[in-house]
Amino acid sequence: MTDLHLVNTAEGEMHATAWAKVNLALHVRARRADGYHEIETLFAFVDSGDTLTARVADSDALTVEGPFAEGLETGDDNLVLRALRLLRQHFGEARVPPLALRLEKNLPVAAGIGGGSADAAALARLVRAHFLPDTSESAFATLVGTLGADIAACVASRSCLGRGTGATLAPLPGAGVGGMPILLVNPRQRVATGPVFAAWDGIDRGPLYIGSDLRAELIGARNDLQRPATAECPAIADVLLELGALGPWLARMSGSGATCFALFDAPAQRDAAAATLAELRPDWWQMKGVLR
């Protein structure tokens, strides 16, 4: 499955999608001496997200538009431009030319669903597809993954298990989660990742186990950041309460919040839930999709 395509060849535009990342479960096991945490997580990706457009140019540039563009940095510290510079430093200017980039920001920021990591990963996939097709995906994931713990998972954008800081990846056993209908909901409140991890109570509640009965094992799993994130953003509790009343087989917070998700048995159930929630809470952001 690919999200990359070259269109409008007369103008040379290239496009990539930054698929929304979801942590279907997130177990925090320990604090590390380097300030990170040992985690075990099940990454999954929704079939929609931000859109990145690129064109070869005289110099690198980034513009951001879309419903969540306000306040986003477009200078050198932006993670997309950092990823581009890193790839150029590694592979050379002759192979990674300057790019004029346009990011359509459809996903909320500081929301636990990938954000800048997914955007940087989309840039990496775009560069690989159009300029470095002979370089392996794993090499790109390892290189760009140095910029953030979940970027490696976002490069592949396939469901997988993450351990360590989240950068040590392993495939899911069995059929995986592809095709599951999902509804994402965010109360339009930003939640910073660092303070949520810092507020984790330090209790190891046990490992994440994913085996032959994925549904039962997901129901029995947890997100250990849900409690500290809710203390930071009480609206998370409201989102989960509303989602749980709409008939999903699983409702949980993703990442460090504040986005929550609900998994349904059928698209019609998801769509009915989305319509109901839109009437009840028109101020909340939501996105329907299926897991890739």
Tokens 């085996």, residue?
211
Concerning whether 283 is annotated as a catalytic residue, the answer is no
Concerning whether 21 is annotated as a catalytic residue, the answer is yes
Closest-CA residue to 60 (of 33, 36, 89): 89
At 274, give phi and psi (nearest 5°).
-65, -40
Tokens 């980034």, residue?
62
Single out the catalytic residue among 3, 21, 105, 119. Answer: 21
- Contact between 16 and 3 (Cβ < 8 Å): yes
Alpha-carbon span 261 to 177, nearest angstrom: 14
String of b and e for 249-288 (b: at least 16 CB within 10 Å)? ebbbbbbbbbbbbbbbeeeebbeebbeebeeebeebbbbb
Which spans in the chain are helix H? 79-91, 116-131, 137-144, 151-156, 193-198, 214-220, 226-232, 235-244, 267-280
Closest-CA residue to 38 (of 222, 208, 218): 208
Total Cβ atoms within 10 A of residue 176 = 18
Amino acid at 224: D
- Contact between 136 and 97 (Cβ < 8 Å): no
Consecutive H or E run containing 212: none
Q: 182, exposed or middle or buried, with CB in 10 Å at 0-12, 13-18, 19+? A: buried
Single out the catalytic residue among 47, 119, 150, 224. Answer: 150
Active site residues: 21, 150
